[in-house]
Chain A
Amino acid sequence: MATPAAVFPPVAFAAVKPQVHWQDRLAQGLLIAGCCTLALFLLAPLGAILVKSVQDRSGAFVGLLQFREYFGTSALKQSIWNTLWVALAVTAVTVPLAFTYAYALTRSCMPGRALFRVLALTPILAPSLLAAISFIQWFGNQGLLKGLLAGASVYGPIGIIISAVYATFPHALMIILTALLLSDGRLYEAAESLRTPTWRKFFTITLPGAKYGLVSAAMVVFSYTVSDFGIPKLIGGNFNVLAVDIYKQVVGQQNFNKGAVVSFVLLIPVLVAFVVDWTMQGKLQAQFSARAVPYVAKPHRAFDAAMFVFCLAVSLLLLAVLGMAVWTSLIKFWPYDLSLSFRHYTYGLIDGGVFGAYLNSLKMAFVASVAGTGIVFVIGYLLEKTRGMRGTKAAVRLLAAIPMGVPGMVLGLGYILFFNHPDNPLHFLYGTLTILVISTIVHYYTSSHLTAVTALKAMDSEFEAVSASLKVPFYKTFHRVTVPVCLPAILDIGRYLFVNGMVTISAVVFLYGPDTRLASIAVLDLDDAGDIGPAAAMATLIVVSSTIACLLYAVATRVLLTRTQAWRKPSTAG
């Protein structure tokens, strides 16, 4: 593959206002289609459940009565405060951690970078309840490291924060990594020739370049923590947060009306995130201009060593969580019989009837990965690179931000109410694997979308302008320039959707039918019945297969990357 400079000879570019062309119309049409698809599979189901907040149980309109009743409860203020401060604490820990990790991966020459990259994924390889089981065994009342908490209980804010940091780390890392990968090496070269001190380069080049990624990552971490109920439900003790309030209303009392009210409250942080994102849009400039040269790290002993130690420490902590779960799957009965056996594996596979579910999971995750990556990236591309359409673009941005603030449970119930409605022409989707795929893509849309957009934003729109002036249709530019340049991000999104598809529970638990049970749900069932060992065993199987899938994926894409990313190599730089 030729370098971008060769494809596009450096034409002196002046802002020409191009005429509206049928190609623009095509792009705009596609954008509208994308917007409608998101509206259909996100907004409509959400609307179907949120409308219940102004109804009573029988479906009669009651205005704001449900809101008044809910806001009248004394527990609410406590829940809101708990939710907020825990989410802020998680964001404050996760984002710097993920940034340093990403910085080490992209700006140092430490050994084992590829391995560290894969290890950082481990938290999303296993169902989230595995982490909660593991943290309880490390720090619970029978925990091996209970002493470290100095008498404090893991059940409560401490447990929620460590579990949530663990769970959100890969989500934040993927976005920040994308932002750091696409920076212009020439800026650093220029700085170097001006003898700019390292700290200054960091604050004037690196940080501003990664700003969008950092803010996006913070939003994702914050919203994820706010809307996730799995972690606080298992390890939160009596510490009330809003997401658990929804669980109590919906699953405990089948009060969809109150559940819808709390869901509305949970959407507030998402709206704040959207406004922040919106105000940042105008101030952003692309880092990666058409003439950009990728940054290549130079060896620096002390720095590389420090970064290596940091990544090693983080990776070991991540592995310790997984390791405890694997150990749990092999011991007979925690904590009274620690002898090893494989019986949990045979029990889970045979009595738990997990094997068929496991195949369903693989199929579902694979389709979600392939279809989802395509949809996410194309919509992201149209959003960033088409002209005009401000209104539609704002709508798409908002739609893409919403999923991270919607608890999966709410999404799942919305899907039932909307797609199972007898008048819905899409009713045939209900109960099929397809609807599981769709709900999974929608549920994990935000992080995927932000990764795509972060990659695309870093690319100078000069590429499009030049192609347009050369009368190259946009889809050719998309295919020949945009996709190859963004391939690392695209592959990340694919892997992200796959591993999440293997472990997702909260939305799909309401949507699977008799023939589409998933492995992650089987794990939840086993844990619920107190079969912690078999649950850990099944989760370990999921981890192992996701790891194998990731490795195969890595090998397969390596070829692709060496072919398309040659321009990133130093030989072509300069």
Chain B
Amino acid sequence: MKRSTGTRWQSAASKWAVAGAAIGMLVAGAAAAQKTELLVYTALETDQIKAYQEGFNKAYPNIDIKWVRDSTGIVTAKLLAEKANPQADVVMGLAASSLVLFDVEGMLLPYAPKNLAAIPAQYRDAKNPPAWVGMDVWGATVCFNTVEAAKQGLPKPESWKDLTKPVYKGKIVMPNPASSGTGFFDVTAWLQLWGEADGWKFMDALHENIAQYTHSGSKPCVQAGSGEFPIGISFEYRANTIKAKGGPIDLVFPKEGLGWDLEAVAIMKTTRKLDAAKQFADWCASKEANELYAANFAIVAIPGLSKPLPNIPADYEKRLVKNDFAWAAKNRDKILAEWTKRYDTKSEPKK
């Protein structure tokens, strides 16, 4: 398909390419004189975008950011589908696990932002210069609906193992790791915490209590917030926003350890606005930017900038599991195949 269309279009395409390039240069020339437009693909929340854009434009008023925002899965799929002719200049606020995929595909331009020295090794790509640099951590959190718990006589769980107790049968929702990155880091965290055999044994027991595997990482906490299901395994940013909006939930951080991923920034190799893209990456790694991230996330890339957030314990960072991104990426297909085989064939939701 690709081949045949390619040859058919070759002659026409070259003409178009010349014309396109000419127009492109004209447009680029005109834009450079005024403002540079930078196309940023992101999975950030809408209200975060606003604050970050204002912060960036304070430092770089000559760069105009155009955003394409959607959920992590959609943005990742869109970027991969556009691989033949990428549109985005920069990717911001996307899961590091997605950026690893792009890096494997050779889509990213490694770049060391000015403030890189301030960012610890675990929060950026291991290569030098790094293909991506972290912004903040989002980690597993259990949303526990206190109103429904009182009605149904459920004790507050303190650990992952607590969730396997028979009293929670049909009361727990968690994201499906085959459709959600949040679900996937839960599973990899358990496997890394307890090893393969015990990890799967735990999930077997947990499965007995799961009412539903959702297709979004936010959904379990949304459902816990509205009492649809009393317990939802989700992540802390969503838990905090649901609580702030009036959901009667407590945030539980299971003591064994929490799965996590990074929101990170990367420059697309194909960008034609390299200077602006680099300036953007510089800003994203700056102290000012990290201070803005700290308003939303308990752990940001630069240590010491975190502000205490309501509902989140001071030792949150210590509770995170030691997460080996490379191991998780390499074994992803295998883990998901095993998970699907074990838990995805039962059709009826349990009560």
Verify if A316 is at the interface (C-beta below 8 Å from B): no
Q: A233-B215, A252-B178, A256-B80 are in contact. Are A509 and B74 (CB under 8 A)?
A: yes
A142, A238, A335, A427 — most chain B CB neighbours (10 Å): A238
Within residues 235 to 251 of chain B, which ones have a CB less than 8 A from any CB in chain A?
238, 241-242, 245-248
Within residues 152 to 189 of chain A, which ones have a CB less than 8 A from any CB in chain B?
153, 155-156
Within residues 95 to 153 of chain A, which ones have a CB less than 8 A from any CB in chain B?
136, 140-142, 151, 153
CB pair B85–A422 under 8 Å, yes or no, is: yes
List 9 other contacts, CB 8 Å, given A251-B73, A427-B85, A530-B242: A51-B2, A247-B215, A254-B76, A254-B101, A336-B147, A416-B82, A509-B70, A530-B219, A530-B221
Closest chain A CB from B86 CB (angstroms): 9
Q: How far is the CA of A530 from the CA of B247 in the complex (A)?
A: 10
Residue of B nearest to A76 (CB): B345
Q: How far is the CA of A312 from the CA of B47 in the complex (A)?
A: 44
CB pair A153–B47 under 8 Å, yes or no, is: no
Verify if A431 is at the interface (C-beta below 8 Å from B): yes
Q: A48-B1, A333-B247, A529-B45 are in contact. Are A78 and B77 (CB under 8 A)?
A: no
Verify if A514 is at the interface (C-beta below 8 Å from B): yes
Q: Which of B5, B76, B226 makes the CB contact (< 8 A) with A335? A: B226
CB pair A417–B84 under 8 Å, yes or no, is: yes
CB pair B81–A424 under 8 Å, yes or no, is: no
CB pair B222–A530 under 8 Å, yes or no, is: yes
Q: Which of B176, B227, B245 makes the CB contact (< 8 A) with A248? A: B176
What chain A residues lie within 8 Å of B222 (beta carbons)? Answer: 530, 532
Q: How far is the CA of A514 from the CA of B1 in the complex (A)?
A: 30
Q: How far is the CA of A74 from the CA of B56 in the complex (A)?
A: 50
Verify if B69 is at the interface (C-beta below 8 Å from A): yes
Verify if A513 is at the interface (C-beta below 8 Å from B): yes
Q: How far is the CA of A407 from the CA of B147 in the complex (A)?
A: 40
CB pair A528–B71 under 8 Å, yes or no, is: yes
What chain B residues lie within 8 Å of A155 (beta carbons)? Answer: 211-212, 349
Residue of B nearest to A82 (CB): B347
Residue of B nearest to A47 (CB): B1
* Chain A proximity mask over B159-174: 1 for CB below 8 Å, otherwise 0: 0000000000000000
Q: A142-B228, A514-B67 are in contact. Are A239 and B215 (CB under 8 A)?
A: no
Closest chain A CB from B300 CB (angstroms): 21
Q: A141-B228, A141-B229, A351-B47 are in contact. Are A239 and B246 (CB under 8 A)?
A: no
Q: Which of B71, B77, B241, B349 makes the CB contact (< 8 A) with A254? A: B77
What chain B residues lie within 8 Å of A256 (beta carbons)? Answer: 77, 80-81
Please give the number of chain A residues whose Cβ is less than 8 angstroms from any Cβ of chain B in the complex: 66
Within residues 235 to 280 of chain A, which ones have a CB less than 8 A from any CB in chain B?
237-240, 244, 247-248, 250-254, 256
Closest chain B CB from A203 CB (angstroms): 39
Within residues 33 to 71 of chain A, which ones have a CB less than 8 A from any CB in chain B?
44, 47-48, 51
Closest chain B CB from A340 CB (angstroms): 14
Q: Which of A332, A424, A515 makes the CB contact (< 8 A) with B246? A: A332
Please give the number of chain B residues whose Cβ is less than 8 angstroms from any Cβ of chain A in the complex: 72
Verify if A192 is at the interface (C-beta below 8 Å from B): no
Residue of A nearest to B216 (CB): A528
Q: How many A-B residue pairs have CB under 8 A?
A: 178
What chain B residues lie within 8 Å of A73 (beta carbons)? Answer: 337, 340-341
Q: A141-B227, A335-B226 are in contact. Are A530 and B1 (CB under 8 A)?
A: no
A140, A239, A416, A428 — most chain B CB neighbours (10 Å): A416
Residue of A nearest to B212 (CB): A237
CB pair B84–A421 under 8 Å, yes or no, is: yes
* Chain A proximity mask over B1-40: 1 for CB below 8 Å, otherwise 0: 1100110011011001100100000000000000000010
Q: Which of A233, A248, A254, A428 makes the CB contact (< 8 A) with B80? A: A254
CB pair A413–B77 under 8 Å, yes or no, is: yes
CB pair B77–A153 under 8 Å, yes or no, is: no
Q: How far is the CA of A184 from the CA of B351 in the complex (A)?
A: 55
Residue of A nearest to B217 (CB): A528
What chain A residues lie within 8 Å of B1 (beta carbons)? Answer: 47-48, 51
Verify if B279 is at the interface (C-beta below 8 Å from A): no
CB pair A413–B242 under 8 Å, yes or no, is: no
Residue of A nearest to B177 (CB): A252
Verify if B348 is at the interface (C-beta below 8 Å from A): yes
What chain B residues lie within 8 Å of A421 (beta carbons)? Answer: 2, 5, 84-85
Q: A252-B176, A333-B245 are in contact. Are A239 and B347 (CB under 8 A)?
A: yes
Q: Which of B5, B69, B81, B347 makes the CB contact (< 8 A) with A238? A: B347
Q: How far is the CA of A256 from the CA of B77 in the complex (A)?
A: 8
Verify if B213 is at the interface (C-beta below 8 Å from A): yes
Q: Which of B46, B225, B248, B347 makes the CB contact (< 8 A) with A78? A: B347
Q: How far is the CA of A423 from the CA of B74 in the complex (A)?
A: 25
Q: How far is the CA of A430 from the CA of B246 in the complex (A)?
A: 42
Closest chain A CB from B35 CB (angstroms): 14
Q: How far is the CA of A430 from the CA of B86 in the complex (A)?
A: 11
Verify if B180 is at the interface (C-beta below 8 Å from A): yes
Q: Which of A423, A513, A521 makes the CB contact (< 8 A) with B6? A: A423
Q: How far is the CA of A141 from the CA of B151 in the complex (A)?
A: 13
Verify if B286 is at the interface (C-beta below 8 Å from A): no
A252, A337, A420, A425 — most chain B CB neighbours (10 Å): A252
Q: A48-B2, A335-B227, A525-B46 are in contact. Are A510 and B78 (CB under 8 A)?
A: yes
* Chain B proximity mask over A183-213: 1 for CB below 8 Å, otherwise 0: 0000000000000000000000000000000
Q: How far is the CA of A416 from the CA of B77 in the complex (A)?
A: 10
What chain A residues lie within 8 Å of B248 (beta carbons)? Answer: 336
